[in-house]
Homo-oligomer: A and B are copies of this chain.
Amino acid sequence: MKKAIFYHAGCPVCVEAESMVAQALDRQQYDLEIIHFAQHPNRVAEAEAAGVKSVPALLLDNQVFHINFGASMADVKGAS
């Protein structure tokens, strides 16, 4: 099972992207974890280390994909 992590910050753009990822991702292949930074501020450093520059972002097997544009990581850190 490969690992998928969806990072978001609760913004409307994020929520729309979350529902897309949750629906469209092949769950036979990927174990999906959803991280809302407001609830898990301790996961910010890990996300940045993985290359996350903005949210929403989807990490598939350690490769980052930024989906649309909700908020920069600077804003995420400023808000927490």
Contact = CB atoms under 8 A, between A and B. Distances in A.
Interface residues of A, number: 19
A28 B65 CA distance: 22
Q: What is the count of identical protomers in the complex?
A: 2
Interface string A15-40: 01100100111111110000000000
A68 to B, nearest CB: 5
A73 to B, nearest CB: 15
Contacts of A4: 24
Interface string A50-61: 000000000010
16 contacts: A16-B63, A20-B60, A20-B63, A20-B65, A23-B26, A23-B29, A24-B26, A24-B29, A24-B30, A24-B60, A25-B26, A26-B26, A26-B28, A65-B67, A65-B68, A66-B69
